[in-house]
Amino acid sequence: MSQFSSSTSLEQSDNIPARLPWLALLALAMTGFICIFTETIPAGLLPHLAEGLNISKGMAGQLVTSYAVGSIVAAIPFAMFTGRFRRRPLLLAIIVGFLIFNSVTALSSSYALTLIARFFAGVSAGAAWGMIAGYARRMVPDTLRGRALAVAMVGTPVALTFGVPVGTLLGDLIGWRLVFGLMSLLTLGLIAWVVWKVPDYPGQPAGQSMTVGQVFVLPGIRPILMVVLTWMLAHNILYTYIAPFLEPLGLTGRVDLVLLVFGIVALLSIWIVGLLIDRHLRLLVLISLLGFLLVSTALWIGATSAPFVYVAVAFWGLTFGGAATLLQTALAEASGEEGVDIVMPINTTVWNLAIAGGGIVGGTLLEFVGVQSFPGVLVILLLIALIIAWSAKKHGFPRKK
């Protein structure tokens, strides 16, 4: 992950445009899109993957877990040990990793090989998240860094919003193997895009960033990370196993439509959060957690008719769409300028722990208890997250003065 001194910025000032380099930043956004799309697409393709690899749906869910574990393993070590590498060759190597391992997934008929490919695709993602933010910030002057980061990260909510629903629809139409093949084609295009438009920069000078330990003990960081863990764990238990969750409700053939409802409303949530986050970050976090908690409670007590499920999914999307923006902004404010580029790989690690945990916990519940147990577990996790967020009044999610 890159953290650069003001002197470095001044040395490069003649080469930094006074306006946003849109095509370069959108190439970084596309990298983020491929990271998230590759990570989450098995959630929408779960029945197809299970049938194609001759495994249970619970085992298919571990393809999400394996990817997340790869990201967990890679994010922080990558940030620590590749800081001095030149940026563009490093980014291209990461993108080539996606090309290779998505192609292996598309062609593999072995569950073990697919798990390995998913793990190393996750390693590529962990590496990418360790440098995207710092890369985007280097492209612009200080006054445009916030906007540049927002553009570079836009691929994440777009993938979360439309990636899985579209991928699920394509899976139904052309099969899961061709979906992964299409991702490889997108990656080929991205390689050309990066070579064409993304500038190269030298690596990070020694001694310019805080250590992981220094950032982790900053006031507010640990409460935010605990909210990330519990909130995302609850989300991913339901999101990863949405297909089997819908099966008893007679909505097996409507997974794509359910996820599309989720995605469209989540996109609305992103827009709302973008308008209000600077003034009402704490309030938005609390409302989002409370809303998801109420939806989970309603599902727990048995409100599971098909019309209600669509309404519940819409509210779920409304509470989740802006989550990444809210939590990353809280972490950036708590870590300060000197720590922001280290806190993001830490966030990536915790986020992916939650994704991996969602695959493991959800798969275990699915195999041994059944999908009816999901809402109760979600209620417990969301109560914990809400209590932590509410308590972090001074640091983490502070009240505006």
Domain extent listing, the chain: 1-209, 210-401
250: left (phi over 0), alpha (psi -120 to 50) or beta: left
Note the pLDDT tens digit of each residue in 198-216: 999 887 665 566 778 888 8
Helices first, then strands: H and E counts in the chain: 17, 0
Summarize pLDDT for 247-300 with one digit per residue, the tens.
Answer: 887 777 777 788 878 888 887 887 788 778 778 889 999 999 999 999 999 888
pLDDT score of 25? 92
- Name the CATH architecture for the domain at 210-401: Up-down Bundle (1.20)
Read off the DSSP letter of residue 205. P
Residues 6+ apart with CB under 8 A from 272: 322
- CA distances from residue 395 to 211, 223, 324, 344, 350 in whole angstroms, order as listed: 20, 8, 18, 18, 19
Listed range (152-166, 187-201, 293-307, 362-376) with the worst mean pLDDT: 152-166
Q: What is the mean pLDDT of the chain?
A: 85
pLDDT for residue 294? 94
Say if 1-209 and 210-401 have the same CATH topology: yes
Rounded to an integer, the average pLDDT of 231-243 is 90
Residues 84 and 383: their CA atoms lie apart, in Å, by 42
Chain segment 143-186, per-residue pLDDT in tens = 676 667 667 877 877 887 677 677 778 888 999 999 999 999 99
Task: Say which residue the tokens 């989450």 belong to.
Answer: 40
d(CA 339, CA 219) in angstroms, rounded, equals: 12
Mean pLDDT for the stretch of residues 383-391? 96
Across the range 95-112, mean pLDDT stands at 96
Cα radius of gyration rounded to whole Å, the chain: 20
Give the pLDDT confidence score for residue 336 in this predicted structure: 75
pLDDT for 145: 67
**Tokens describing residue 399:** 């009240």
Q: pLDDT by residue (tens digit) across 324-354?
A: 878 887 887 888 767 776 788 888 889 878 9
Measured between alpha carbons, how far is 153 from 142 in angstroms, rounded to an integer? Answer: 17
Q: Which two tokens stand for residue 247?
A: 């099966």
Quick: pLDDT tens for 9-63: 334 444 566 688 999 999 999 999 999 899 888 877 888 999 999 998 889 888 9
CATH of domain 1-209: 1.20.1250.20
Confidence of residue 1 (pLDDT cuts 50, 70, 90): very low
| Entry pTM | 0.76
CB 397 within 8 Å of CB 330 = yes
Confidence band, pLDDT 50/70/90 cuts, at residue 4? very low
Q: What pLDDT does 179 receive?
A: 93
The reported pLDDT for the residue numbered 15 is 57
